[in-house]
Amino acid sequence: MAKFPLETIRHSAAHVLAQAVLHFFPTAQLGIGPAIENGFYYDFDLETSLTDEDLNKIEQKMEEIIKENQQFTSYSTDKETANSFLKEKNQTYKLDLIDSLDGDSFTFFENGPFVDLCKGPHVEQTREIGAIKLLRVSGAYWRGSEKNPMLQRIYGTAFSNRKDLKSYLKRMEEAKKRDHRLLGKTLDLFSITEEVGGGLVLWHPKGALIRHLIESYWKTEHLNNDYDFVLSPHVGKADLWEKSGHLSFYEENMFSAIDVDDQKYYVKPMNCPFHILVYKNKPKSYRELPIRYAELGTVYRYERSGVLHGLLRVRGFTQDDAHIICTEEQMKEEIKSVTLFTINMLKAFGFEKIKFYLATRPDEKYVGEIAHWKDSEDALEEAIKSLGLPYEIDHGGGAFYGPKIDVKIEDAIGREWQCSTIQFDFNLPERFDMTYIGQDGEKHRPYMIHRAIFGSLERFFGVLVEHYEGNFPVWLAPTQVSILTVNEKVSHYAKKLASDLKQKGVRVDLDTSSEKIGYKIRKASAEKIPYMFIVGDKEVESNTISVRRHQKGDLGVMTVDQAFLSVLDESKTM
């Protein structure tokens, strides 16, 4: 077991990176260099653009520094001395950081000739960093603001040993092959164009069909689990967003207002206020609870262009949103039910490894009574325990308006993805004065639970593409069977097969072109179509089909009924 946590190793590696960069570029201005998930980065203001050759030289220098086994030591100084030192070094970005920090004492860490403003912690000696690898360079605005200078951000990763680094780099290579942006283009599923705008998705026919299949399954399962569907508009008056608190807490993530009839309207960033108004349309009795409203509601949120990433980070997306409104007595059973529902939904799409995190009340800045927080946290934890699920506590990780269960899924190459959230809300029921009439004839405040299983359809779709590497299970494949003809004479037979399959609900592509059969097979394989039915003179004479299964190869000759049954059976499997 490593002596230091990976976060400490990676933060130390970021300092070594900065030291190596200064060796080659002595006038470089330093930004920040934190550890991040799976690695670290450091931002630099340089006079020249870094090349792959530069990265190789910098990485080699880092290896030298690590072998030197430099000591990490720290000292603290007052603000005046810190400013004087950084001015002498001409580090203007560090001076900007000093100005933004509270306190009179500032910590610096040094290793060898390198000194950096930093809280730490670090390893004791550079050899304890282990194994490093620089990955890429990208642009990053100082402090994340487009009004500030663009810096060059060098990304890297570090592990305590070379074996772990090698394993990680192998996973990264596998991840490149699975990149949903590349597969989305290759398989003609979706596109994002500057003509429309960054973060706004155009769904192509095949992608839209897969999405339809996901939505249809989602709707069927929600009806089976006693949810009611609601629909809400894409915009709402400013007064609504004032009441919900979004204009106070979230306006920077909302698109600019639209003026209509001398009133301001905002494109919705969330569906919650609309669902609450449906609930408040008429008085509710305890006998009507719990109420479960569900909607595939498209919302719009402003994201900086630098963080947009295919379908995983967009500006317009459809949440598989639901709000459960219940009494205190119903709360625990509802949480248990929705947790089990979440597991079953995720497993239906092939995700077997699911992790749960219970995020509790923040230490500061929260709404609602502590007693309600305690009851809600207990209900969430009891639901997880009663289902025998392993979980971790994320102390203080809840939102200001309630505790939550975060659900992460592991994909085919071991990456974790945040998808589902089961979230209590003490804020909106108060703001909108939500009530129900209890058994005592008095008004009571209901509990409200936000819940999304996929998170958003766009992000979930992107995860699915990468999980399956575009090789969708038969039930999700946009084309399930491609019928390929060997020559023109058998076209009539092939068309009859296609017609019969379509009548049975199978999605079929018919290729009767004059291309050679080898080309047709390669084309269908590149499109990752699960089944290929190959038809030639022999198949017509014997009323059979030569069957190929994508990734498995030739399955041999089958009767028409056998081939059809094989597809139909597999298309029912989730």
The verdict on whether 450 is a catalytic residue reads: yes
Contacts of residue 276, Cβ cutoff 8 Å, sequence gap at least 6: 323, 428, 429, 432, 434, 448
Q: Please tell me whether residues 303 and 328 are part of one structural domain.
A: yes
Of the three residues 175, 193, 216, the one that is the final residue of a domain is 175
DSSP 251: G
The verdict on whether 319 is a catalytic residue reads: yes
Catalytic residue among 43, 320, 321, 411: 321
Q: Please tell me whether residues 429 and 339 are part of one structural domain.
A: yes
Catalytic residue among 404, 467, 520, 548: 404
Q: Please tell me whether residues 286 and 368 are part of one structural domain.
A: yes
The verdict on whether 70 is a catalytic residue reads: no
Q: In the chain, how long is the greatest CA-to-CA distance?
A: 93
Q: Tell me the Cα Rg of the chain.
A: 29
- Domain-embedded: residue 254: no
Q: Please tell me whether residues 155 and 192 are part of one structural domain.
A: no
3-state secondary structure 526-558: HCCCCEEEEECHHHHHHCEEEEEECCCEEEEEE
What are the residue ranges of helices labelled H in 288-388?
Answer: 331-348, 370-386
The verdict on whether 444 is a catalytic residue reads: no
Catalytic residue among 61, 122, 246, 301: 301
The verdict on whether 404 is a catalytic residue reads: yes
CATH number (domain holding residue 143): 3.30.980.10
CATH number (domain holding residue 336): 3.30.930.10
- Domain-embedded: residue 81: yes
Q: Please tell me whether residues 288 and 404 are part of one structural domain.
A: yes
Q: Please tell me whether residues 455 and 543 are part of one structural domain.
A: no
Catalytic residue among 118, 272, 326, 419: 272
Q: How many domains in the chain?
A: 3
- Domain-embedded: residue 385: yes
Instruction: Tell me how far apart the alpha carbons of residues 241 and 299 are, in angstroms, rounded to a whole number.
Output: 14
- Domain-embedded: residue 252: no
Q: Please tell me whether residues 452 and 345 are part of one structural domain.
A: yes
Residue (of 573, 505, 503, 565) closest to 533 by Cα position: 565
Q: Please tell me whether residues 404 and 491 are part of one structural domain.
A: no
Of the three residues 408, 442, 466, the one that is the final residue of a domain is 466
- Provide the domain limits for residue 498: 481-571
pTM for the whole structure: 0.86
Of the three residues 433, 466, 499, the one that is the final residue of a domain is 466
Q: Please tell me whether residues 93 and 155 are part of one structural domain.
A: yes
The verdict on whether 489 is a catalytic residue reads: no
- Domain-embedded: residue 266: no
The tens place of each residue's pLDDT in the chain, 574 residues long, gives 458 999 999 999 999 999 999 999 999 999 999 999 889 999 999 999 999 999 999 999 999 999 999 999 999 999 999 999 999 999 999 999 998 888 889 999 999 999 999 988 999 999 999 999 999 999 989 988 888 999 999 999 999 999 999 999 999 999 999 999 999 999 999 999 999 999 999 999 999 999 999 999 999 999 999 999 999 999 999 999 999 988 887 888 889 888 988 899 999 999 999 999 999 999 999 999 999 999 999 999 998 877 889 999 999 999 999 999 999 999 989 999 999 999 999 999 999 999 999 999 988 878 778 888 888 898 899 889 988 999 999 999 888 888 999 999 999 999 999 989 999 988 899 999 999 999 999 999 999 999 999 999 999 999 999 999 999 999 999 999 999 999 999 999 999 999 999 999 999 999 999 999 999 999 999 999 999 999 999 999 999 999 999 999 999 999 999 999 999 999 886 6
- Domain-embedded: residue 253: no
CATH number (domain holding residue 543): 3.40.50.800
Six token digits for residue 559: 């009767």
Q: Please tell me whether residues 311 and 352 are part of one structural domain.
A: yes
Catalytic residue among 11, 94, 323, 520: 323
Catalytic residue among 319, 330, 423, 480: 319
Q: Please tell me whether residues 20 and 48 are part of one structural domain.
A: yes
Q: Please tell me whether residues 15 and 117 are part of one structural domain.
A: yes
- Domain-embedded: residue 255: no
- Domain-embedded: residue 459: yes
